[in-house]
Every structure is written in C-alpha cells, then in structure tokens.
Amino acid sequence: MEGSAEAIAIRLGRTAVDTRRASILAVYVIWKRDVIRYWRDRVRLVGALAQPLLFLVILGTGLASALRGAGGLGGLDYQQFMYPGIIGMAVLFTSVFSAMSIVWDREFGFLREVLVAPIDRSAVAIGKALGGATQATVQGLVLLVLAPLVGVRLTPLAVLELIGLIFCLSFALTSVGVAVAARMESMMGFQFVVNFMVQPAFFLSGAMFPLTGLPGWMAVLTRLDPLAYGVDPIRRVALGAGGLPGPLLDRLSLTIAGEPVAIWVEVVVLVAFGLAALSAAIWSFRRRA
Amino acid sequence: MHEDQPPGWAVETRGLVKTYGKVEAVRGIDLTVRPGEVFGFLGPNGAGKSTTISILCTLIEPTGGQALVGGIDVVRDPGSVRARIGLVFQDTTLDDQLTARENLEFHAFLYDVPRSERRRRIDRVLEMVELGERAGSLVRTFSGGMKRRLEIARGILHSPYVLFLDEPTLGLDPQTRNRIWEYLHDLRRREGITIFMTTHYMDEAELCDRIAIIDHGRIVALGSPGELKGMVGGDVVTLRTRDDRGAAEEIGRRFGLEPLLDSGGLRLEVEDGASFVPRLLRELSVSVDTVTLSRPSLDDVFLKLTGHAIRDEEVGARDRMRAMAGRWRGARGRG
Ligand SMILES: Nc1ncnc2c1ncn2[C@@H]1O[C@H](COP(=O)(O)OP(=O)(O)OP(=O)(O)O)[C@@H](O)[C@H]1O
Ligand SMILES: [Mg+2]
C-alpha cells in the first residue's frame, strides 16, 4: 500500500491548496448547500406559500370589500394591488430567514468548518447571499401561480421581467440579511431583527398601500426602504401586463419629487443596495474569526 | 518519508499566550512536534487545550508569543497554514441536514480537491471509517460515534500535512475509541501525516509518540510516555503477605526501602522491578501470597507534577465512572 501509485498520488496531492480556486469553488458549494437544504425542506416550501395565501385571500378580500365602499383605488381591485406586495413579502421573509441560517450555523458549529478552510472569507458572504437569493427568488416565483386567482394575467415577457426583478430584490434583501447575520453572535438577536428591521421594511414598502399622499416623515422612510424599490416595479410589470392603464399605474407607483421612478432606476438602486450590503458582509467576515 | 514535507518541526510554539480579559487560558507554551509523529496534548478540563489548538489552526489570534505550523507563522500567513492542516473540532461541525457524502463533497470543494480525485478519495475515507454503506444517509440519523468517524474522515480528505484533533474520542464507547485509534495509527503509517491531538484520557495518551502535559495553561512535562513515567522513578511493586507489618519492617531493613502500607497491601517503588521481585521472594522470610509488578501510569506522573489528579476537577460523573471502569479493567488486566 505504502508504495502504491495511489498512496504516492495522495501524498503528492498534499501541496498547498490554491486559495483563489478554492474560494470560487467555495462560493459554488456554499450556494449548493443552501439549495439542497431548501429543496429537502419541503415543509418550508409549502409553509411559505400558506402565509401569502392567507394574506391574499382573507386580508385581501376583506380590505377589497371595505375599499370598494369607500371609492377604492380608482378602479383597481385591492387584491390585485396587494398581489405584488405579497410577492415582495415572500421574498423578504425568505431572504431574511436564509441569511439568518448563518447565525444558526455559528451556533451549531458548522460555520467553523468553513472559517478554517483555506478560502477567502468573502466566499462565505457571496455564497450565502447567492444561496439566499436563489431561495427567495424561487419562493417569489412560486407565487406567480396565484396570478389567475386574483385576476392578474401574465404574459411570457412579463414573467421573464418578473424573474429578473424578483432576483434583484432577493439579492438586495439577502445581502442585507447576511451583513446583519455576520455580526450576530446568537439567535437571541433574531427577534430584534424581525421586529425592528423586517416588519418595518414590509410595512413601509408599499406592499399594502400606495406610497402616495403620505405624511412627510413617512414618505421619507418609505423611500429609504429597499423593498419599496422591488415591490413597485413588480407591481408595474405584473399589473401592466394584465392591461391596467398606464396613468392609473403611474398614480399608484413610487415617486421621488413627484416624478414616477423608472424601472431601470429601481433596478440600479436594488443592485447598488445589494452590493453595498454585501461589501459590509464581506468586511465583517474578513475581520472576525 | 515525504518529499514535499517542509523542513523542521511540524508544529512549533514559543511563549504562546492567550488571555480572555482576566482569564489566562494559555500562559506561555513552548513545544515542538516532529513531522510524522502522534503528539498528545494531555490535560484536565479548562487547561487550555482547545485554546492552543484554535491558535494553531488560525481560528483565534494569540495574545503573545509565536506559533508555526509547517514552518509558517499562524498570525502572519493564516491562509497558508489553513491550506496545510485538517481539523476535527471538539464539538461536531457537520451539517446534519446533509448526507455523509454531501458533507464530504462540501469539504472537497472548500479544499479544491481535484475533480478527478474527488469521488475516489471520498469513497476511500468513507471506507476507512466504515461508513461506506451509510454514505447516503442524513447525518441527523447518525450516532455520536458515527459522526465522530465521519469528522475524522473529513479531516483527512484533503490529505493535510498536520491533522489536529480536539478530543476525538470524548464520550465514545471503548470499542469505538479503539477503532478510531486504529484509523489514526493507520493514517500515520500510510501517509506519514503528523497528528496533534488533545485528550484527557490517560490510557489514550499512552498511545501517542510524545505527550505534553498541560495544566492551567502551562506545560508541566513533555516527552514520550516512557520518559514521563520515568520521572516517577522506577516500577511499582505491590505485595500481599501473611504479615504485612512484619514484611514492611524486614524490607526496610534488608533493602533500604520505605514500603507504603495500605489496604491494598504493601507498595514499593523500585528502580528495576523485574530483577527486584525474584530477589525479594528469595530473601524475604515472611511468606508472600501475591506480587504485582506495575509500571507507573501517567496518572501517577500527573499527580506527581501538579499535586492533583487529572480527573479531580470539573469532570462529569459519566466520565469519572468511565475512568474508574477503565482503571479497574486495567488493574485486572495487569494482575
Ligand atoms: N471565548 C472565551 N472567553 C473567555 N474565556 C474562555 C474562552 N475560551 C476559553 N476560555 C477559558 O480559557 C480556559 C481554557 O479553555 P479551553 O477550552 O482551552 O480548555 P480545554 O483544555 O480545551 O478544556 P476541555 O477539556 O474542557 O475542553 C478556560 O478557563 C476557559 O473558561
Ligand atoms: Mg477543549
């Protein structure tokens, strides 16, 4: 055995690992692990569908009835208005939860297996951000099957555009989550994150009500919410495809200084936001053990 | 043995210090580990074993002193150190939602194991730890011993130059512990890997080439098990006689020794037990029922050097029972 070709090959294999190559492979395999775990956890997949359904069917129906009496949204059905917001909600929650698995991995030790490997720590942040973004995108896309239920007709082109938009949003939100999780010591902080970051982000995003005619302070906060830059273009593409007139859409959309924000600008904002958060996450991972 | 081995020591530390606020976890450790040896780091709970390993593996930075692995400074070039080591942590770091094979694949990617060899090496290490048949099972369904074996398999998957193991056999049954030791010796023999391990099982320390005994963050002794036991001075002879008191008096007179009399009989420490026992039996007038000749154990060494037994403090009842059972078995084996 000692002198066999195999033994020698293995011995010669004991040269130092190429850190750059290993880091790129690490991004891939960290992403892959997240995807495998997500796929294996069917309960979560189904469960994540239940909450949006609950919102759409019960809250949506209730509010739609109430608003119809009060004059409504200029002819737009409230359930239809809310539908893109619910996609945003699913993306938000999936992103945050998958990013928080870093804290879980830290508590259960698995993170150390990664931190002692001969890779650049940036690979951990990037792999996690992409893994979470993939999960959130899938979760958001699954909700597209509910479109007919609320009377939204999607064209193939709209679906393609939505895939891109949902991915950009997922990436931005997951990166923020990873940046926060990189600094968190234990799951204790998780409830804090949900209460003070996730829920406000959801409420301020325009998912449940149009971001027009708000008091000044709140208008400012909503424009600082990355989710707002995701919900708005998703709404415009999804409802626009369904034949909703442009002027009505413009009236409901995100404005800055009174002007509707173009979809490409919103995409740029999301990507920039994601990259900035990812840089912060990389910085945190490089700094700590 | 190895063409590609860096020269000099596999592991070297000089005046290594680590403090956490007021807690001095490591207080000036100097040690050297030879390439290809099995080096044991023996000490009670809280002695600073894991802290030292974490420094050597670049997971924490020392407060003072220097540490080199394969001649590379762990603080100045942690990346290069990481590329040359394998580590089995004290607590499990497997992903229990993945299968055994998936855990190993994950590791193979992190260490850039060449694509052509990935599968073959994974199969080989799985076979080595006898988990080949469970390769596709989720780690969640594994017993503690199986997880440990899988972690050892993972630690050697990328053929590290030094393999660090932090209490690899803690909490395992004797059978599994023996098997893990077989793997480790086999590895060393086949691949000339250097093994640096911590333990607080005395009987395991005996299986190392050399041991450092650490207590309260300091090394109190370093050498082969034989050398360390030599520090206690000779062999231990235990006698049972018709008249222990009379025998004690006669031995003191005739051989100039100071026998200790206790419930177990008469205890003597002599230079060379093998030649002393026949002489004793020939010359002693009191008739002897039984004679036991034993070598001093590492427990005796630890006791002598630190003034307290290694298992005295903070040891769980479970561990203590296991230790007693081990000692009982050991005593019976020798008797
Ligand atoms: N992160 C930390 N913060 C504060 N104190 C620490 C930390 N890590 C270790 N210590 C302290 O350092 C000392 C040495 O701990 P270490 O884990 O190295 O011991 P050990 O020899 O591995 O013990 P065991 O056999 O229980 O694993 C202990 O007193 C411990 O409380
Ligand atoms: Mg320890």
Quick: pLDDT tens for A85-100: 999 999 999 999 899 9
Q: What amino acid is encoded at A19 in this protein?
A: T
pLDDT digits (tens, 9 = 90+) for A193-231: 888 889 999 999 988 888 888 888 998 999 999 999 999
Checking DSSP bridges between strand B194-199 and strand B162-166, what pairing results, if any?
parallel
Model confidence at A74, pLDDT cuts 50, 70, 90, reads low
Mean pLDDT value across residues B259-267: 75
- SS3 of B308, please? coil
Bridge partners for B88 per DSSP: B165
CB atoms closer than 10 angstroms to residue B266: 21
Question: Which run of H or E residues covers position B13?
Answer: strand B11-20
B4/A118 Cβ within 8 A = no
The alpha-carbon gap from A182 to the nearest alpha carbon of chain B, in Å, equals 16
Q: What's residue B190's pLDDT? A: 82
Distance CA B106, CA B96 (A): 13
Binding pocket residue ranges, ligand 1, CB within 6 Å = B 20, 23, 25, 43, 45-51, 90, 200
Task: Name the residue among B82, B92, B186, B87 with its Cα closest to residue B142.
Answer: B92
CA atoms within 13 A on the CB side of B228: 28
Would you say residue B334 has pLDDT above 50?
A: no
B44: Cα within 13 Å, side-chain hemisphere? 17
Query: Dihedral through CA B118, CA A9, CA A11, CA B49, nearest 10?
Result: 10
For chain A, report the end-to-end CA distance as a whole number of angstroms: 39
Q: Which of A8-22, B124-138, B178-192, B238-252 has the highest mean pLDDT?
A: B124-138
Measured at the CA of B123, the angle between CA B90 and CA A41, to 5 degrees, comes to 65
| Residue A77 confidence class, pLDDT cut points 50, 70, 90 | confident
Residue B82, min C-alpha distance to chain A (Å): 5
Q: In the beta sheet, which residues pair with residue B66?
A: B14
Instruction: Give me the pLDDT at residue A117, please.
Output: 93
Count CA within 13 A, CB hemisphere, residue B290. Answer: 10
Report d(CA B242, CA B290) in Å as an integer. 10
Distance from B294 to chain A by nearest Cα, in Å?
A: 37
Distance between CA atoms of residues A45 and B178, nearest Å: 44
Question: Which residue on chain A is closest to B78 by alpha carbon?
Answer: A118
| Model pLDDT for residues B106-144, shown as the tens digit of each residue | 999 999 999 889 999 999 899 888 899 999 999 999 998
Would you say A150 and A72 are in contact if contact means Cβ atoms under 8 Å apart? no
Domain definitions of chain A by residue range? 2-287
Within 8 A by CB and 6+ apart from B286, the residues are: B241, B242, B243, B246, B247, B250
Interval B37-73: pLDDT, tens? 999 999 888 899 999 999 999 999 999 999 999 999 9
Quote the mean pLDDT of chain A. 86
Strand, coil or helix: what is B11?
A: strand
- Judge contact between B152 and B88, C-beta under 8 A: yes
Handedness of CA B300, B305, B308, B313 (dihedral sign): negative
Whose Cα sits closest to atom 1 in ligand 1? Answer: B20
Task: Please give the share of chain A, as a percent, with pLDDT higher than 90.
Answer: 51
CA B331 to the chain's CA centroid? 20
CA–CA gap between residue B264 and residue B262 (Å, rounded): 5
Residue A122: predicted pLDDT: 94
Query: In this complex, do B121 and A29 lie within 8 Å of one another by their Cβ atoms?
Result: no
Which residue in chain A is spatially nearest to B103 when comparing CA positions?
Answer: A33
Q: Please, where are the H alpha helices in chain A?
A: 5-12, 19-40, 42-54, 60-69, 78-107, 110-115, 122-142, 156-183, 190-193, 199-203, 216-223, 228-241, 246-252, 263-287
Residue A56 tokens, joined: 């759409």
Both tokens of B158, joined, read: 């990328």
Report the distance separating Cα A56 and Cα A51, nearest Å.
Answer: 9
Helix (H, G, I), strand (E, B) or coil at B69: strand
Inter-chain CB proximity A14 and B83 less than 8 Å: no
Nearest listed ligand to the Cα of residue B46: 1
Distance CA A268, CA A117 (A): 34
Q: What is the CA angle A281-A172-A63, rounded to 5?
A: 135
Q: Are strands B38-42 and B210-215 parallel, antiparallel or unpaired?
A: parallel
Across the interface, whether the CB atoms of A13 and B80 are under 8 A apart is answered no
Contacts of A9 (CB under 8 A, 6+ apart): B117
Q: What whole-number distance in Å separates Cα of residue B225 and Cα of residue B217? A: 20
Q: pLDDT confidence of B317, banded at 50, 70, 90? A: very low
Number of cross-chain residue pairs from A and B with Cβ atoms under 8 Å apart? 104
**Protein residue with least CA distance to atom 26, ligand 1:** B45
| Reduced 3-state DSSP string for B118-178 | HHHHHHHHHHHCCCHHHCCCEHHHCCHHHHHHHHHHHHHCCCCCEEEEECCCCCCCHHHHH
